[in-house]
Amino acid sequence: MQPDTFNQHNASFQPLSNLWGNDEKALKELYNAEFFKTENYVLQNSGTPEQAKDIYQEAFIAVWRNVQLNRFVPQNDNALAGYLYQVAKNKWIDYLRSAYHKNTVGTGDMEREDEPVEVLPGEQSDFINQIKNGFKQLGNNCKEVLGRFYYKNENLKTIAAAMNWTEATARNNKYRCLQKLREFVKK
Amino acid sequence: MNLNHNISPEAFDEIESYLSQKMTAATQAAFNQRLVTDTVLHQQVKQVQLTITAIKEQALQERVDSFHEALPERAGKTVSLTSKSPWKTWLVAASVLLAIAAGGFWILTKQSPAEKRFSTYFKPDPGLISAMSTTDNYVFDKAMIDYKTGNYREAITAWQGLMKNDQNNDTLNYFVGVGYVALKETKTAIPYLEKVVATAQSYFAKDACWYLGLALVKEERLKEAIERISNSEHPQKEQLLQELYK
C-alpha cells in the first residue's frame, strides 16, 4: 500500500491547487491553453471542428481526473498543458485507429506518445461512472448540496443559509445524499 | 478491491478531511500509519476519494460546454470563409496541380538537396479560421483569408502593418514567419519564428519550432535545424531527424 499517494499535491504550484480546488478560472485557463493547438492537429488529420471539440473535452476531463486522483502531479503550468495536449492527441490517434475508421483513414506516421499515467484500474473507473450516473438521477436538493459542497467548495454553513436549513440539517442531508449515491453502485 | 463499504458519517468526515489535507500534521501522520496496516481503511479512503472525484467530475462535465463557448476570440474561429467555400479550395488545389504539371520537373531537377528536403516536408500551416465579424480583428482576419488562399505576400504586408504597434505579438510573428516560409524566403522568416520560439508560453511555440527547423534546413544550418525540430511536436519530426542525422 502507498498511503501517501492519496494527497500528493504540489503545494508550491498554485495553479494546480486551484485546479484541484475546482477554481473555475484555473479550469477555463487550462481549457483555453491547448484547445486551438489540438483543433489544428485534428483538422490536419482528417477531423472536423466538432470532433476536435469532443476529443478535447474528453481529454480535458481525463486529465482533470488524473490530477484529482494524484495520478499526475505536474510541476508547472507547461507540464500540465503539455500533458493535456498529449492525451488529446493520443485520443485522436486511437479514434482514427478504431475499428470504424481503420479502413477509411490512414494514420500513416502518426505516432502515439507514451503517457506518464497508466490507465485507471477497471473497477475504479466503473465505480466513478456508476457514481456519475447516480448523480444525474439524484433529486435537485441532493444535486445542489453535493454540487455546492464538492464542486464549488462551499462550506456547510453557507449551504445551510442558501437552502434555508440549519447547519446540522445540511450535514445530515449531505450524508443522506451520499448514501443514495452508494445505492447506484453495483454490488 | 471492495469499494462498497458502509462508511459512517464520522468516518466519512475524517477521511474527507484527510483527503483535503485539513488534518493537523500529527493527525495526518497517525492516519498514514493506520493506512499502512488497515486494509479496510485503505479501501474506504479509496472509495471516498473516487466518490468525491465522480461528483466533481459530473459537475465539471455539465460546465465544460460553457468553457468552450467562452474560448477567446483570437482563435475564436466561428466561421471559416475558406472552409465554407469549397470552390476556392478547389481552385487553389487546381492551380497547385497546374503549377506542378507545368514546372514540377524543372523544380525537381534544379533543387539542391536541402531545398528538396524542405519541399518534401513543408506543408503550409493551415491558419486560423476567420470570423470576419468584429471590426477589431478585421485586418487580421482578412489577411488570414489571403494567407489561406495562397496570397502570402498580401497577408504578410497586412500583418506587418499590425505589428507596428505590437512588435512582439507572437501570433503576428508566427504567421508572418510561416508566410515567408511558404514563399520560400526562409532567411527572412527565421528572425520572426525565432521570436516566437523564444516565447515559451506562446501557443505557437512548438509549431514555430517545426517551421523554423525547416527554414534552417533550407538554409543548410543543420545543427540549429536539428535542435529546433527536436523541440517541435510535429508528427513527421522523428522521420526528418533521422534523415538529418545521416
The string of DSSP codes covering B71-106 is: --STT-----TTTT-HHHHHHHHHHHHHHHHHHHHH
- Choice among A9-23, B119-133, B203-217 with the minimum mean pLDDT: A9-23
Say yes or no to pLDDT of B108 above 50.
no
Query: Which residue, A23, A20, A24, is CA-closest to A7?
Result: A20
Count of structural domains within chain A: 2
The string of DSSP codes covering B33-86 is: HHHHH-HHHHHHHHHHHHHHHHHHHHHHHTTHHHHHHT--STT-----TTTT-H
Q: Are B96 and B124 members of one domain?
A: yes
The CATH number of residue A141's host domain is 1.10.10.10
Among A97, A131, A161, residue at a domain's last position: A97
Q: Are A88 and A156 members of one domain?
A: no
Cα A112 from Cα B246, distance rounded (Å): 24
CA distance B70 to chain A (A): 8
Q: Are A73 and A135 members of one domain?
A: no
Q: Are B59 and B90 members of one domain?
A: no
Q: Are B55 and B123 members of one domain?
A: no
Q: Is residue B81 part of a domain?
A: no
pLDDT of residue B197: 92
What number is the average pLDDT over the span A55-83? 87
Q: Is residue A173 part of a domain?
A: yes
Among B69, B99, B116, residue at a domain's last position: B69
Q: Is residue B192 part of a domain?
A: yes
Task: Find the domain containing A171 and state its range.
Answer: 122-182
Say yes or no to pLDDT of B130 above 70.
no
Q: Are A79 and A141 members of one domain?
A: no
Q: Is residue A116 part of a domain?
A: no
State the cell numbers at B202. 506562446
Q: Are B170 and B105 members of one domain?
A: yes
CA distance B6 to chain A (A): 9
Q: Is residue B77 part of a domain?
A: no
Q: Taking CA atoms, what residue in A is nearest to B30?
A: A3
**pLDDT-based confidence at B33, cuts 50/70/90?**
very high
Q: Are B60 and B178 members of one domain?
A: no
Q: Is residue B22 part of a domain?
A: yes
Chain-chain contact of A68 with B56 (C-beta, under 8 angstroms): yes
What number is the average pLDDT over the span B162-174? 86
Task: For residue range A103-152, list pLDDT tens digits in order.
Answer: 555 556 667 777 667 778 899 999 999 999 999 999 999 999 999 999 98
Cα A13 from Cα A73, distance rounded (Å): 10
Q: Are A20 and A76 members of one domain?
A: yes
- Choice among A20-34, A83-97, B70-84, B218-232 with the minimum mean pLDDT: B70-84
Q: Are B213 and B239 members of one domain?
A: yes
pLDDT of residue B53: 94
Cα B38 from Cα B46, distance rounded (Å): 13
pTM of the model: 0.57
DSSP 8-state code for residue B17? H
Q: Is residue A112 part of a domain?
A: no
Give residue A88's Cα distance to chain centre.
Answer: 13
Among A97, A130, A160, residue at a domain's last position: A97
Among A97, A130, A158, residue at a domain's last position: A97
Q: Is residue A102 part of a domain?
A: no
Q: Taking CA atoms, what residue in B is nearest to A153?
A: B56
Q: Are A86 and A38 members of one domain?
A: yes
Flag whether residue A20 sits within 8 Å of chain B, measured between CB atoms.
no
Secondary structure (3-state) at B27: helix
What number is the average pLDDT over the span A154-163? 94
Task: For residue range A2-57, list pLDDT tens digits in order.
Answer: 443 666 554 444 445 456 566 788 888 889 888 999 999 999 888 899 999 999 99
Q: Are B56 and B170 members of one domain?
A: no
The string of DSSP codes covering B162-231 is: HHTT-TT-HHHHHHHHHHHHHTT-HHHHHHHHHHHHH-TT-TTHHHHHHHHHHHHHHTT-HHHHHHHHHT
The CATH number of residue A77's host domain is 1.10.1740.10
pLDDT of residue A12: 44
pLDDT of residue A106: 57
pLDDT of residue B106: 42
Cα B213 from Cα B223, distance rounded (Å): 10
* Residues 78 through 97 of chain A touching chain B, CB cutoff 8 Å: 78, 85
What number is the average pLDDT over the span B209-230? 92
pLDDT of residue A19: 62
Q: Is residue B64 part of a domain?
A: yes
From chain B, the residues in CB contact with A49 under 8 A are 77, 129
Q: Is residue B76 part of a domain?
A: no
Residue of B59, B77, B128 lying closest to A151 (CB–CB): B59
Task: Find the domain containing B57 and state its range.
Answer: 9-69
Q: Are B191 and B110 members of one domain?
A: yes
pLDDT of residue B141: 75
Q: Is residue B78 part of a domain?
A: no
The string of DSSP codes covering A128-151 is: HHHHHHHHHHS-HHHHHHHIIIII
Cα B166 from Cα B115, distance rounded (Å): 33
Q: Is residue A105 part of a domain?
A: no
The string of DSSP codes covering chain A is: --GGGGS---TT-HHHHHHHTT-HHHHHHHHHHHHHHHHHHHHHTT--HHHHHHHHHHHHHHHHHHHHTTS---SSHHHHHHHHHHHHHHHHHHHHHSTTTTTT---TT-PPPPPSSPPPPHHHHHHHHHHHHHHHHS-HHHHHHHIIIIIS---HHHHHHHHT--HHHHHHHHHHHHHHHHTTS--
Count of structural domains within chain B: 2
Cα A180 from Cα A143, distance rounded (Å): 11
Say yes or no to pLDDT of A180 above 50.
yes
What number is the average pLDDT over the span A82-101? 85
pLDDT of residue A100: 59
Q: Taking CA atoms, what residue in A is nearest to B8?
A: A175
Amino acid identity at B219: E
pLDDT of residue A104: 55
Q: Is residue A178 part of a domain?
A: yes
Residue B202: HSE in the Cβ half-sphere, 13 Å Cα cutoff: 23
Cβ pair B15, B45 in contact under 8 A: yes
CA distance A94 to chain B (A): 15
Flag whether residue A25 sits within 8 Å of chain B, measured between CB atoms.
no
- Residue predicted with more confidence, B228 or B136: B228
What number is the average pLDDT over the span B186-199? 92
The CATH number of residue B205's host domain is 1.25.40.10
Q: What is the residue-averaged pLDDT of chain B?
A: 80
Chain-chain contact of A3 with B236 (C-beta, under 8 angstroms): no
Cα A3 from Cα B43, distance rounded (Å): 11
Flag whether residue A136 sits within 8 Å of chain B, measured between CB atoms.
yes
What number is the average pLDDT over the span A79-104? 81
Q: Are B38 and B148 members of one domain?
A: no
Q: Are B134 and B206 members of one domain?
A: yes
Q: Are B46 and B167 members of one domain?
A: no
Q: Are A131 and A93 members of one domain?
A: no
Q: Are B43 and B103 members of one domain?
A: no
Q: Is residue B176 part of a domain?
A: yes
